[in-house]
Amino acid sequence: MADQTVRAALEAFVSERDWGQFHTPENLAKSISIESAELLECFQWSPQADTERVRDELADVLTYCHLLAARIGVDPDEIVLDKLARTREKYPVDKARGRSTKYDQL
Amino acid sequence: MADQTVRAALEAFVSERDWGQFHTPENLAKSISIESAELLECFQWSPQADTERVRDELADVLTYCHLLAARIGVDPDEIVLDKLARTREKYPVDKARGRSTKYDQL
Amino acid sequence: MADQTVRAALEAFVSERDWGQFHTPENLAKSISIESAELLECFQWSPQADTERVRDELADVLTYCHLLAARIGVDPDEIVLDKLARTREKYPVDKARGRSTKYDQL
Amino acid sequence: MADQTVRAALEAFVSERDWGQFHTPENLAKSISIESAELLECFQWSPQADTERVRDELADVLTYCHLLAARIGVDPDEIVLDKLARTREKYPVDKARGRSTKYDQL
């Protein structure tokens, strides 16, 4: 289970500002896409990027992911581990090793 | 600091498949954007979405976020908390309360 | 076939600045995603958006779409019409009428 | 002004299926982001991509751009040319030549 410090800190931040009203799952999903694109912008013209800027934009994506997880009542670590268990089956080591091919074409 | 279970599980998953070679920061940033859009797709035509599907797509976004964090050597929880401290200053409670206005227009 | 004014204007703009070197298909695809997210940002917290801002962000998405079309040697109008012909078949009027369901679930 | 063939064909397609009800500006903006990510997916693990697939995904992005332009009552070609005129001023040839730097850092 995910460490509760982040969750508690985000909850306090949002509640102090009365921002829960804006945080519908749909708006949070839009926000995750928007912040992901700002992260991608670090790499727009080159594979090289400023690490500090990457870290900052990644933090923004993660923040909205945590808010959405809280909103739909799931634990961020648990859903990652649960999905990973299923992905393991879709990409067996012997077939997937060293290849970036999608599972349905393996 | 983030729980190390997720990190360790992802590292084992990637290393067993020799996928580290594909996980440049740039490719992971692209992947985060791609998965975010799949999450957004749950809400394409309606604010209502199937929670199970949302949980699954959110897990994919988080997975690539963890991989990028590991790749650039940062702790996912620490960068969220660090960014939150700065966001608190940009959005003081008395100005930001109940408003979705961007900080530079507050 | 698309009006050639836009294409010619964009070509002159890029060539005067010697920017063709940055416009690989991959970089243009990233740019389209980045600009799309800026368009989405107009609607981040509300379905209502400032029309002038929407128009501007849409122009940016279209600009990179035109540059990518030129780069891969296709006519933007032709590929839209060609795709439309195939989409018509995937979504027959009698099945798709008034429903936002994806074709594989119709 | 843009060729009216595409616009007329899209209008007929949408109206036959009674899909105008789903095409709010917000839903179209989400759709543009979603399709852009499918385009980006062609380049997820490599700068090389299958041209046919790129063409198809680009067509989808363009389709939703046309629908949004029609919905907000603007001509796609006009807004591109109008924006280009302003971008020319932000990136004067002598300063911007051969550099991918953002205008506010030129």
Query: H or E stretch including D78?
Result: helix D76-90
Smallest CA–CA separation between C40 and chain A, in Å? 7
Per residue in C4-35, pLDDT tens? 899 999 999 999 999 999 999 999 999 999 99
What's residue B106's pLDDT?
86
* Min distance A3 CA to chain B CA atoms (Å): 6
Contact partners, residue A63, CB within 8 Å, separation at least 6: A10, A35, B80, B83, B84
Query: Tokens at residue B15, please?
Result: 């290393």
Per-residue pLDDT band at B31 (split at 50, 70, 90): very high
Give the one of B6, B72, B93 whose C-beta lies nearest to A54's C-beta. Answer: B72
pLDDT tens for residues D11-45? 999 999 999 999 999 999 999 999 999 999 999 99
Q: Where are the domains of chain B?
A: 1-74
In the Cβ-directed half-sphere of C103, how many Cα atoms lie within 13 Å?
9
Q: How many CB pairs under 8 A join B and D?
A: 33
* pTM across the whole model: 0.97
Contact C44 A37 (CB under 8 A): no
Distance, in angstroms, between D49 CA and closest chain C CA? 8
Work out the minimum CA distance from C50 to partner chain D, whole angstroms.
11
The residue length of chain C stands at 106
Query: Is the CB of D60 less than 8 angstroms away from the CB of C47?
Result: no
- In chain B, which residue's Cα lies nearest the Cα of D28? B44
Section A80-95 average pLDDT: 96
> Between chain A and chain B, how many beta carbons pairs sit less than 8 Å apart?
177
pLDDT at C18 (0 to 100) = 96
CB contact under 8 A, D45 and B22: yes
CATH class of the domain whose range is C1-74: mainly alpha
Query: In this structure, are residues A42 and A54 in contact, taking their beta carbons and an 8 Å threshold?
Result: yes
Closest by CA position to B73, among listed A9, A65, A58, A40? A58
List the one residue out of B83, D100, D7, B5 whose CA is nearest residue A46: D100
Q: What are C104's two structure tokens?
A: 């594989």
Interval C31-79: pLDDT, tens = 999 999 999 999 999 999 999 999 999 999 999 999 999 999 999 999 9
**Among candidates D33, D44, D100 on the partner chain, residue whose Cβ is nearest the Cβ of A33:** D33
Can you tell me the ipTM of this complex?
A: 0.96
In sequence order, what DSSP letters do the residues of C25-46 get, joined into one string?
Answer: HHHHHHHHHHHHHHHHHTTSS-
